Structure 1
Amino acid sequence: MVVTAEEAPGKMTPQLWRVCWVIVFGAFAGMLDTTVVNVGVDTLVRDLGTGLGAVQWVFTAYLIALAVSLPACGWLTRRYGAGRLWLAALVAFTVASALCAFAGNIGWLIALRVLQGLAAGLMVPAGQTVLGEVAGPARLGRVVSTLGIVVSLGPAIGPLLGGLILHSLSWPWLFLINIPIGVAGTLLGLRYVPRGERGTAHRPDGTGYLLIGVGIPAVIYAATAWGETGTFASPRVFLPALAGIALLVAFCVRTRGREHPLLDLGLFGNRTFAVAAATTFFTGPAMFGAMFLLPLYFQVLGGSDVVTTGLLMIGLGAGSAIALPLAGRFTDRYGGGAVALWGSVATLAATVPFAVADLPVDGVFVQALLVLRGMASAFLMMPVGTVAFAAVTRSQLPDGTAQINIVMRVGGAVGTALFAVVLANALPDGPAMAFRTAFAWLTGCSVAAVGLTAWLWRVQRRNRAVAGTMA
């Protein structure tokens, strides 16, 4: 039986650690899949006898499907329980991975990637809800930091593992590696993960789901197309962008006056949650932009192949994995706002050298910067999410985790597109100048992150002062 926060406030129990690591085990499959498959573009084009445009949909369809399922997570959690939803999503993800490996053509592969994305979109926030329910605010930082180890290691290990697989095996093994992880995670989850309480959730708002379920993917698709085309003037970019924004505005208007909305947007009336959500969105470009630029930096300027690039990127994930446990303890002790402010300042310090100096691509100094950036990201993204989850009540947690994930996904998509456009437009000046320009923009985003985390720190400090006065 899991010890709840009320039974042992502030203490990390063995039962809680077991739940935490099982959730992490399941999340590892999703994070690994995303980064491993990304290195297989050329192989899929060749082995499936199709074009680059069609293969691109293997990745785009996954991201869009993931965004489609996120708005439904809150209602499904209230209806069936967070643990049951997490288990069902993990099983669906594992089955979809096996089917992807046996897809006979590009059409079937794209369709099955949609199923994978739908499952992944439910698995992440459902797992976060489970952890929030069993941990409570006093232990949330340490628990979420453990989940963050997977988030940081996935992008570092995935490209290297994908390159090794494609060097020795065929592309179906990019998906087959998920099977043992998914099966083991399911068996452990059946034993250790609490199912959660079945609720009496009201009938879902079908019209509202249609509005947001189409609006979010439309915005993400527009951002992706913007990065590919390099211009917002293309109908492929501005038409889905305008349609997506209009649908999201309509969803907000419809939701505002409803007694039982699909997503409780009233959470943004909580100032702490609102500032944490804004920080999550606007720090996305600073974090995801680096994940887009750095592999290209090694490949274009250094001529590294996929495997070498994966090895060079390990420092980033290793830095995060090393710092996350410490970041979790600091968050529980000092507050997520203060820790995130430290992280944003360190992120800025690790970014500026790429924008102002001609760095040796594979030098020791560059690797030191990657480790610093990895450690800084552990002190930035995880504490902000912890602040958001701790700011809501237990009953609001399903909606809170879903909304933070939506904000993070949209912010990440916009950030990646932004740096793709900046880099493409600067390439005529030469690769070295193009990357310095892109990293200069990344520096600007890092400065914005410092300002936002300082705002979050001030809000938390004011809340503590008010609470102390009332006490």
Structure 2
Amino acid sequence: MTATKQRLDPALIRLAVVMLTGVLAVVFDTTIVNVALDTLGRELQVGVATVQWVTTGYLLALGVSVPVTGWLIDRWGGKRIWMIALVIFLAGSIGASLAPSATALIAWRVFQGVGGGLMLPVMTTLLVQAAGGEMLGSAVALISMPIVLGPVLGPFIGGLIVEHLSWRWIFWVNVPFCVAGLILAWRLMPPLPGSGRARLDVPGLLLITPGIAAAVFALSRVGVDDGFLYPSVIVPLLASAVLLAVFAARSWRRGDRALVDVRLFRAGSFSAASALLFLSGFTLYGGMLLVPLYFQQVRGTSAFVAGLLIGVQGLGVLASRSVAGTLTDRIGARWVTFAGLVVVAVATVPFALATAHTTEWWLVATLILRGVGLGAVTIPVMASAYVGLAKPEVPHASIITRVAQQIGGSFGTAVIAVILSRAIATHAPADAFDIAFWWSIAFTLAALALAPRLPVPASVR
């Protein structure tokens, strides 16, 4: 491979910088808000059942807006939809920051979620289409950086704001990113027009939208009800399964005329990548639940210090990001992902063996190593989902992978939370966390079975 081919196109880098500037607001937003939920409940004088809708309402809106992104891009063009999504997210952020009550805050968060739900798949679609097939790994290294770092740095930023400023600042943080993103998009982003010929698959939309919403709602209730075996969880999960099954069967028959072309699952590499993105909820988001709680409940650190400690995992992600992208382009996603999963599992073992007296610096060092593994998993898996796809298929792939990530993150967090809750009920805190970490390792090892199904270039087979 020549040096010229190894370099990303400057136009692609410029487009990535423009879009990443705006999308940083979205990837930090959810985790920052989660840190502030306790403060929001106290200051707005509402209980947990109400304040949790600040997050749940946002996630529901985010989930139901994802499926229409492919149609919107084709109908009105990438640049226009990107800027509209930024404006919606900006308006929602300002509205949330000025909300006089919990009801108003929840309403603005729903509005904000619509913009956020559009931004991530639009960004992925446009950047993957611009990159083409040859440099997918390096391109995805750019795309995935904020997506991976959001859950790592968000709690740290949120802890700083909650401890030193008013809760309203957690929404004002989004404003500079949105404004800068709008200015850069207006000045530097190419027109990226759509064909204008796409017709909206209304029956498909009426199936998939409540299907995703029901799944996200059910999984958000798991933590509130402390388990899956409750009507508030089981009923919407079953409804979601039925709606999504009917949607998939109908979409398979319609092919590229469907809202989402599920025939992409015929490719083994795409199916494996989607499944691995779903399972990443157990390794990334499940781990992001356990680690800060471990430091607070077992080690006795403050929320701010726990956020600072977990932030070092981002150093590992940064260290492996560009290397993982380059290796994916050279040797394919299969072995990079396999090695990354092994590193994540090995780096989690010290937490599963830890006691209240384990040296803190040892745990911090393993967090950095864990971040290296996470970076080596996320980038090749995302890249492999787009290998061999034609340009019109990329928006469909972006929708599917985004839904897999979102539901997988919710499901992984819910399962790990239930495991931890049940363990705490019968064990000492340190032992309970050991059990939960072993489960997290088991889920990571289970993902290893899917890694061999990811593609490798013909030159290294």
Q: Which residue of 2 aligns with 1:286?
A: 283
Q: Which residue of 2 aligns with 1:209?
A: 205
Percent of pairs with identical residues: 38
Q: In 2 relative to 1, CA 169–287 (structure 1 residues): closer, same or farther, beyond 3 Å? A: closer
Q: In 2 relative to 1, CA 362–205 (structure 1 residues): closer, same or farther, beyond 3 Å? A: farther
2:94 to 82, 95, 98: 98
Residue 269, structure 1, aligned to residue 258, structure 2: no
Residue 118, structure 1, aligned to residue 107, structure 2: no
8 Å Cα contact 1:298/1:362 also seen in 2: no
Q: Give the aligned residue type for 1:52.
A: V
Aligned-residue CA RMSD (Å)? 1.8
8 Å Cα contact 1:286/1:449 also seen in 2: no
8 Å Cα contact 1:83/1:130 also seen in 2: no
Distance in 1 between residues matched to 2:329 and 2:399, nearest whole Å: 22
Residue 346, structure 1, aligned to residue 343, structure 2: yes
Residue 417, structure 1, aligned to residue 414, structure 2: yes
8 Å Cα contact 1:352/1:439 also seen in 2: yes
- How many residues align? The count is 456
Q: In 2 relative to 1, CA 361–162 (structure 1 residues): closer, same or farther, beyond 3 Å? A: farther
2:453 to 449, 452, 455: 455
Q: Which residue of 2 aligns with 1:5?
A: none
**Superposition deviation, residue 362 in structure 1:** 6.2
1:369 to 366, 381, 389: 366
Distance in 2 between residues matched to 1:205 and 1:415, nearest whole Å: 31
Q: Which residue of 1 aligns with 2:429?
A: 431
Residue 231, structure 1, aligned to residue 227, structure 2: yes
Distance in 1 between residues matched to 2:275 and 2:78, nearest whole Å: 25
Q: Which residue of 1 aligns with 2:158?
A: 162
Q: In 2 relative to 1, CA 305–359 (structure 1 residues): closer, same or farther, beyond 3 Å? A: closer
Deviations 1:77-115 (A, max 9, x none): 221222322222112111111111111111111111111
8 Å Cα contact 1:211/1:248 also seen in 2: yes
Q: Give the aligned residue type for 1:236.
A: S
Q: Which residue of 1 aligns with 2:444?
A: 446
Q: Give the aligned residue type for 1:464.
A: A
Q: What TM-score comes out, normalization by structure 2 length?
A: 0.95
Deviations 1:37-78 (A, max 9, x none): 111112211221211211100001111111101111111122
Q: Which residue of 1 aligns with 2:248?
A: 252
Distance in 2 between residues matched to 1:288 and 1:199, nearest whole Å: 37
Q: Give the aligned residue type for 1:371.
A: I
2:52 counterpart SS class? helix
Map 1:12-411 → 2, pairs under 5 A: 12-258=8-254, 260-358=257-355, 360=357, 363-411=360-408
Distance in 2 between residues matched to 1:330 and 1:48, nearest whole Å: 50
Distance in 2 between residues matched to 1:360 and 1:119, nearest whole Å: 45
**Superposition deviation, residue 398 in structure 1:** 0.6
Q: Give the aligned residue type for 1:344.
A: L
8 Å Cα contact 2:336/2:377 also seen in 1: yes
Bigger drift between 32-41 and 223-232 goes to: 223-232
Deviations 1:285-305 (A, max 9, x none): 122210111111111111222
Deviations 1:336-391 (A, max 9, x none): 22211111111111112222343646611100110011110000012101011223
Q: Extract unaligned runs of 5+ from structure 2.
A: none
Runs of 4+ in 1 over 6 A off after TM superposition: none
8 Å Cα contact 2:74/2:198 also seen in 1: no
8 Å Cα contact 2:40/2:51 also seen in 1: yes
**Superposition deviation, residue 242 in structure 1:** 0.7
Q: Give the aligned residue type for 1:229.
A: D
**Superposition deviation, residue 333 in structure 1:** 1.4
Distance in 1 between residues matched to 2:359 and 2:215, nearest whole Å: 36
**Superposition deviation, residue 214 in structure 1:** 0.4
